[in-house]
Chains A and B, each alone.
Chain A
Amino acid sequence: MKKHILLCISLALLTSCGSDESDPVAYVPTPAQIDTPLIFQQLLPAAVIPEDNPLTEEGIALGKRLFYDTRLSLDNSISCASCHKPQEGFSDNNAVSLGVDGTPGTRNSMPLANLAFNYFGNFNWDGSATTLEEQHEIPITSSIEMHNTFADITTMISADASYPLQFEQAFNVTTVTKTEVTKALAQFVRTMVSGNSKFDKYLLGEATLTPQEQNGLDVFLDETRGDCFHCHGSPTNPLWTDNIFHNNGLDTSFEDRGRGNITGDPNHFGQFKSPSLRNLAYTAPYMHDGRFATLEEVVNHYSEGLVYSDTIDPLMKSIAQGGVHLTENDKQDLIAFLLSLSDPTFINNPAFLPN
């Protein structure tokens, strides 16, 4: 009997040693997953989730709160969502985005969708960031965007009534740093998946295209007419972008060198990342500087507005004539097809809207 007690005591001691005395048992966040659309499951590699930032319910919820929190900016005036508005396809309708104090930036805001499926790690128009975590640092500190410092942000967070607990539950930390802020944002942004457009339903056999949309698709895929698919994807690449850099013939010389700013290679001057053609119904104006207000202007550009420069992409055709000169009919149909790639359930998905 005595022996037994001794054994019990020593066992108790042993186990208590195992689980650190000072730390109460750490909260374990609930693993979460991206809601991958069926069409992506069929056609694409799995989403890219970095090993050191797995998705959790707590992390995503925290990321969403941060995304909509104006206190991330210097003067509490803007949040991520000011330039990435849900109803505008998570971009904004200014040609170039406005930072704190209404300071104009130099580029058009990019729509946020399907970024977990960017396999090449090219973020921003010029690929200046290679991960989302890295990307999110930029708007927060950029003087033409939120113009804040992480020192101020972490002070704000620790003074808040509920952020500290949220960070502790998501990342098991008591001191919040830049790392956890950008990780949480990235978790939320990775969940923003758009794969439920009319065209997706058509691919699944759940919708039919109008004759206009069908002809527009043919123009898009036809090397002698639109030939858009080489850069912007096709029914077998439902991201509707190649996520690679090209110069699509907008200018003869470059105020913004785009990709060339990052690599320093003159062959890359004037190259920008092909944007996805999803959700164009909401994301006007278009191009890296928002120069085109309508899809008509975009299509006219490709049809007859191309201009030559040294780095113009070799896929651009008949440049001396400004392009291949689509018929009026083909242009209208092409636009009808492009609009079938817009996904109203994405911009209205409560998971992405403020609570």
Chain B
Amino acid sequence: MKKATVLALFLVSVLACNSNDDDASTPAIESDVTIKFTQSFDDQPVTASEFSNLDYTNENGEQLSISRLRYLMSDIVLTDVNGIDTVISEYQFVDVGESSGALLEAPIKFEEGDYTLSMRFGFSDADNIDAAYPDLNAATWGVPAPLGGGYHYMQMEGVYINSEDVNTNYQFHTIRAAENPGDDVILTDTSIAVNLGTVSVEGLATTIEVNMNIEEWYKNPNLWDLNDLYTMLMPDHEAQIMMNQNGQNVFTLGDITYISE
């Protein structure tokens, strides 16, 4: 009799383990997580449909448009309260003009709870391996060998009205800073660690917006004068260092939205 009870209890516990999803006592709700990349110029949204209009004015007073905006975020990680990292993606390539890459769906579900979200603007040196990523090669995202190879971090281009009132193309390209282009190039990792703080994952699906405020690139700590720095910035080591400094506060957490049923 005793034996039978023990066996019965054992069976129940085994069964309970197997079917823990519908066990009423400890339901572990798991949420789909999507990272949504958006862009703004202060509070004006920047999407493909606003492209090419001279809609924006930077801190230095130049009126400008954006007609190409592509950037790369890498090492996109959610860290739980126990410090366990889950990599959502090694890298994500966002092409605003082609409306591609804005939504990044995590490959696995996450248990409800608090996490910290972190990522990196561009590739860190360890990941910035020349020619290593076929999809980025096909997107013509590479940096030429004389500038150290690897990949762009961002291509932002458009027109600004210069101090002589002439519509002028600018190319705000950020890459790993390169001094002395050529065989003896010296490189400085100018990718940017982006720590977005705590996010709460809830319900069946959680969408976390990460916004790039473009205005920041032109502002802080270096007041950017497009009349001086508008073109040929890739081989300009100092410009790249300034971009890195100005980029520190470009990315912020936006809205977090949930689907509960």
The docked-state distance in angstroms from the alpha carbon of A239 to that of B142 is 13
Of chain B, the residue at the smallest CB distance from A221 is: B144
Please judge, given known A-B contacts A224-B235, A314-B158, whether A237 and B146 are in contact too, CB under 8 Å: no
Please judge, given known A-B contacts A229-B144, A234-B144, whether A314 and B169 are in contact too, CB under 8 Å: yes
Q: In chain B between 135 and 186, which residues have their CB closer than 8 angstroms to a CB of chain A?
A: 135, 137-140, 142, 144-146, 149, 155, 157-159, 166-167, 169-171, 173
The docked-state distance in angstroms from the alpha carbon of A42 to that of B157 is 30
Quote the shortest CB–CB distance from B86 to chain A (angstroms): 26
Option from B130, B171, B233 in Cβ contact (under 8 Å) with A315: B171
Q: Is the CB of B170 within 8 A of A237?
A: no
Option from A42, A221, A230, A311 in Cβ contact (under 8 Å) with B140: A230
Q: In chain B between 30 and 75, which residues have their CB closer than 8 angstroms to a CB of chain A?
A: 51-52, 67-68
Q: Is the CB of B131 within 8 A of A43?
A: yes
The docked-state distance in angstroms from the alpha carbon of A312 to that of B134 is 29
The docked-state distance in angstroms from the alpha carbon of A315 to that of B67 is 10
Total chain A interface residues with beta-carbon distance under 8 A: 32
A-chain residues with CB within 8 Å of residue B233 when the two chains form the complex:
223
Of chain B, the residue at the smallest CB distance from A218 is: B146
A-chain residues with CB within 8 Å of residue B214 when the two chains form the complex:
none
Q: Is the CB of B169 within 8 A of A222?
A: no
Q: Is the CB of A267 within 8 A of B52?
A: yes
Q: In chain A between 153 and 167, which residues have their CB closer than 8 angstroms to a CB of chain B?
A: none
Total contacts A to B, CB within 8 angstroms?
Answer: 76
Q: Is the CB of A44 within 8 A of B137?
A: yes
Q: Let me know if A58 is at the binding interface, CB within 8 A.
A: no
The docked-state distance in angstroms from the alpha carbon of A311 to that of B53 is 11
Q: Let me know if A231 is at the binding interface, CB within 8 A.
A: yes
Q: Is the CB of B159 within 8 A of A223?
A: no
Please judge, given known A-B contacts A43-B131, A44-B134, whether A229 and B140 are in contact too, CB under 8 Å: yes
Q: Is the CB of B169 within 8 A of A235?
A: no
Cβ contacts A217-251/B at 8 Å (1 or 0 each): 01001111000011101111101001000000000
Please judge, given known A-B contacts A224-B232, A267-B67, whether A237 and B169 are in contact too, CB under 8 Å: no
Q: Let me know if B194 is at the binding interface, CB within 8 A.
A: no
Quote the shortest CB–CB distance from A331 to chain B (angstroms): 19
Q: Is the CB of B232 within 8 A of A231?
A: no
Q: Is the CB of B135 within 8 A of A45?
A: yes
Q: Let me know if A316 is at the binding interface, CB within 8 A.
A: yes
A-chain residues with CB within 8 Å of residue B170 when the two chains form the complex:
314
Q: Is the CB of B146 within 8 A of A314?
A: no
Quote the shortest CB–CB distance from B132 to chain A (angstroms): 9
Q: Let me know if A202 is at the binding interface, CB within 8 A.
A: no
B-chain residues with CB within 8 Å of residue A320 when the two chains form the complex:
166
Quote the shortest CB–CB distance from B239 to chain A (angstroms): 11
A-B contact pairs, 27 of them (CB 8 A): A43-B131, A44-B137, A45-B134, A117-B138, A222-B144, A223-B171, A223-B173, A223-B232, A223-B233, A223-B234, A223-B235, A230-B140, A234-B140, A234-B142, A235-B145, A236-B137, A236-B142, A237-B138, A237-B142, A313-B169, A314-B159, A314-B169, A314-B170, A314-B171, A315-B169, A316-B169, A317-B231
* The 5 nearest A-B residue pairs measured at CB: A314-B157, A221-B144, A236-B142, A242-B140, A314-B169
Task: Give me 20 other A-B pairs in contact (C-beta within 8 A), A224-B235, A230-B155, A317-B231 excluded.
Answer: A42-B131, A43-B134, A45-B134, A117-B138, A218-B146, A223-B173, A229-B142, A229-B144, A233-B140, A234-B142, A236-B131, A239-B138, A267-B51, A267-B67, A314-B67, A314-B170, A315-B171, A317-B171, A317-B232, A319-B169
Binding site for A on B (CB under 8 A): 51-52, 67-68, 130-131, 134-135, 137-140, 142, 144-146, 149, 155, 157-159, 166-167, 169-171, 173, 231-235
Binding site for B on A (CB under 8 A): 42-45, 117, 119, 218, 221-224, 229-231, 233-237, 239, 242, 267, 308, 311-317, 319-320
